[in-house]
């Protein structure tokens, strides 16, 4: 079997709407490495988009899942519930930031977590409007794509979006969008389009993921919390990509000193198995009537078993500290290349949620061609990296936090060689 042969079959069989960034067809994976159907090995700096923070097939996660497989795989929690679901909820209620009593609901994907967070916020406030941010990403369902602050490709061709959703410019100093300017737009929005007493929630990623790995300035998050409190608006932190040690804390909101009322989680929670969660203030979470939340597969026993094991691994292996030390090594290496690679415009990101932004040196404008070249050349050399950003000029780094030191060093060497070669080609 070859990658090329499967790629041809894929084109014939799969909707064009499902994009792929590589034509490397996976055969097996272990920790931070993936082998394709041709036997070629890759170092995985994508982690299935921040999912396998605990590595591919972590032995403790696999053992927990195997154990669950031998007992039962599905009863539907709404029909015949199970203790592991309750235990996982109790654990999330403890660890999700916020010094108040919390409750949780489990669903299956990040987009579904976002949908449910908005439903809960609407039920709790009796209001319908939601304010999101440009460049934000919240999923591909109807509310998810409406909240997403990027048209192409997420909204292209899909018609009218959900009503009562507004976007405020996400503050990015690097692009000249200051905190004050964004707050000014919010103020105008309240005057021109939507009375704050009609707004159910703000939804924000503490560090934008798909949008380009920009973190919310602390002053902005604090102000958002203040405005929310002033008007009875709820704050939803979308931690689908930032959660579970990626930013060097269990949750990215821990960097801010203010808490969200509702937190959405997915990806890293299941360590490679589909499970997502919404955790929030108990009174808010109890607003929907019985039967208003849930779903056939929500909190499926396999996903729950994996997630309980993921939380054990995070504790046992100190993955937040590991994220900080790996991220620092990566950022230092990138800094050392600034002279040789003048395209590097910015190196950033807390913990191991890191990115490098690449511009055309002469003009200081985004350089998506160079960015794609780096991604392709890294892949040729055996390193899988992803791009992101509204202008497609950001490379993001999301390796498993359990990556072995020697594999990590090897990846940094590939990255350095790739950047140097790409810069020399120009």
* Residue from the set 97, 98, 135, 139 that interacts with ligand PMP by CB under 6 A: 139
Measured from the CB atom, the residue of 269 and 311 that comes closer to ligand PMP is 269
Listed in sequence order, the DSSP H helices in 42-153 are 47-50, 59-69, 83-95, 110-125, 142-147
Question: How far apart are CB 404 and ligand PMP at their closest, in Å?
Answer: 26
Tell me if 384 sits within 8 A of 302, measured CB to CB.
Answer: no
Please compute Rg for the chain using Cα positions. Answer: 21
Q: Residues in contact with ligand PMP, total (CB under 6 A)? A: 15
Question: How far apart are CB 275 and ligand PMP at their closest, in Å?
Answer: 10
Residue number of the CB atom closest to ligand PMP? 110
Go through 368-378 and write b for each residue having 16 or more CB atoms within 10 A of its CB, e for each that does not: eebbbbbbebb
Measured from the CB atom, the residue of 210 and 261 that comes closer to ligand PMP is 210
**CB proximity list for 263: less than 8 A, separation 6 or greater:** 96, 97, 98, 236, 237, 239, 243, 251, 253, 278, 279, 280
Measured from the CB atom, the residue of 103 and 138 that comes closer to ligand PMP is 138
Question: How far apart are CB 260 and ligand PMP at their closest, in Å?
Answer: 13
Measured from the CB atom, the residue of 269 and 337 that comes closer to ligand PMP is 269
* Residue from the set 64, 105, 131, 266 that interacts with ligand PMP by CB under 6 A: 266
Question: How far apart are CB 32 and ligand PMP at their closest, in Å?
Answer: 20
Beta bridge partners of 384: 44
Measured from the CB atom, the residue of 224 and 337 that comes closer to ligand PMP is 224
The number of helices, as runs of H, and strands, as runs of E, in the chain is 13, 16
Measured from the CB atom, the residue of 114 and 411 that comes closer to ligand PMP is 114
Tell me if 236 sits within 8 A of 262, measured CB to CB.
Answer: yes
Distance CA 187, CA 193 (A): 10
Count of CA atoms in the C-beta half-sphere (13 A) of 77: 22
* Residue from the set 48, 55, 98, 209 that interacts with ligand PMP by CB under 6 A: 209
Is residue 243 close enough to count as binding ligand PMP by CB under 6 A?
A: no
Measured from the CB atom, the residue of 190 and 244 that comes closer to ligand PMP is 244
Question: How far apart are CB 92 and ligand PMP at their closest, in Å?
Answer: 17
* Residue from the set 77, 119, 138, 396 that interacts with ligand PMP by CB under 6 A: 138
Distance CA 74, CA 27 (A): 27
Is residue 297 close enough to count as binding ligand PMP by CB under 6 A?
A: no
Q: Which of residues 95-134 bind ligand PMP (CB under 6 A)?
A: 109-111, 114
Contacts 24+ apart (CB under 8 A), 92-98: 92/265, 92/277, 92/279, 93/279, 95/250, 95/251, 95/311, 96/251, 96/263, 96/265, 96/279, 97/251, 97/253, 97/254, 97/259, 97/260, 97/263, 98/259, 98/260, 98/261, 98/263, 98/280, 98/281
Measured from the CB atom, the residue of 29 and 278 that comes closer to ligand PMP is 278
Measured from the CB atom, the residue of 179 and 266 that comes closer to ligand PMP is 266
Task: Write the interaction track for ligand PMP spanning residues 40-79; mark x where CB under 6 A is met and - where it is not.
Answer: ---------x------------------------------
Measured from the CB atom, the residue of 323 and 419 that comes closer to ligand PMP is 323
Closest CA to 202 of 174, 226, 235: 235
**CB proximity list for 139: less than 8 A, separation 6 or greater:** 109, 110, 111, 112, 114, 115, 145, 147, 148, 240
Is residue 205 close enough to count as binding ligand PMP by CB under 6 A?
A: yes
Q: Which of residues 375-404 bind ligand PMP (CB under 6 A)?
A: none
Measured from the CB atom, the residue of 111 and 227 that comes closer to ligand PMP is 111
Is residue 210 close enough to count as binding ligand PMP by CB under 6 A?
A: yes
User: Strand ranges (DSSP E) for 205-341?
Assistant: 234-238, 262-265, 276-281
Is residue 300 close enough to count as binding ligand PMP by CB under 6 A?
A: no
Cis peptide before 103 (omega within 30 of 0): no
- Which residues contribute to the site for ligand PMP (CB under 6 A)? 49, 109-111, 114, 137-139, 205, 209-210, 238, 240-241, 266
């Amino acid at each position: 079997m070859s990658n090329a042969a499967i790629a041809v079959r894929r084109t014939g069989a799969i909707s064009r709407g499902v994009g792929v960034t590589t034509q490397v067809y996976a055969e097996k994976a272990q920790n931070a490495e993936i082998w394709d159907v041709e036997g070629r090995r890759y170092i995985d700096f994508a982690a299935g988009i921040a999912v396998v923070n605990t590595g591919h097939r972590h032995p403790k996660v696999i053992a927990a899942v195997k154990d669950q497989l031998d007992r039962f795989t599905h009863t539907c929690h709404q029909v015949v519930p199970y203790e592991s679901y309750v235990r996982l909820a109790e654990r999330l209620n403890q660890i999700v930031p916020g010094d108040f009593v919390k409750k949780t609901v489990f669903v299956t994907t990040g987009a579904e977590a976002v949908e449910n967070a908005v439903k809960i916020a609407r039920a709790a406030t009796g209001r319908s409007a939601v304010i999101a941010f440009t460049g934000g990403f919240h999923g591909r369902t109807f509310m998810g794509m409406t909240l997403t602050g990027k048209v192409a490709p997420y909204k292209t061709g899909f018609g009218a979006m959900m009503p009562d959703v507004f976007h405020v410019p996400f503050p990015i100093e690097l692009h000249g969008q200051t905190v004050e300017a964004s707050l000014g737009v919010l103020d105008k929005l309240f005057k021109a389009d939507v009375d704050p007493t009609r707004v159910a929630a703000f939804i924000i990623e503490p560090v934008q993921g798909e949008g380009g790995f920009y973190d919310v300035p602390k002053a902005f998050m604090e102000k958002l919390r203040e405005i929310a409190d002033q008007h009875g608006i709820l704050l939803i932190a979308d931690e689908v990509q930032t959660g579970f040690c990626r930013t060097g804390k269990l949750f990215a909101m821990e960097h801010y000193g203010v808490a969200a009322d509702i937190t959405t989680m997915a990806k890293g929670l299941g360590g490679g198995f589909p499970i997502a969660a919404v955790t929030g203030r108990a009174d808010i979470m109890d607003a929907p009537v019985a039967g208003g939340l849930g779903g056939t597969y929500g909190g499926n026993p396999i996903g729950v078993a994996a997630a309980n094991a993921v939380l054990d691994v995070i504790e046992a292996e100190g993955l937040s500290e590991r994220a900080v030390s790996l991220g620092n090594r990566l950022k230092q290496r990138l800094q050392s290349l600034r002279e040789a690679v003048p395209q590097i415009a910015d190196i950033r990101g807390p913990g191991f949620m890191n990115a490098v932004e690449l511009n055309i040196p002469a003009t200081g404008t985004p350089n998506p061609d160079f960015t794609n070249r780096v991604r392709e050349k890294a892949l040729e050399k055996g390193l899988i990296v992803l791009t992101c950003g509204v202008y497609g000029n950001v490379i993001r780094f999301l390796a498993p936090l359990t990556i072995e030191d020697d594999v990590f060093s090897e990846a940094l060497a590939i990255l350095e060689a790739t950047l140097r070669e790409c810069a020399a080609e120009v």
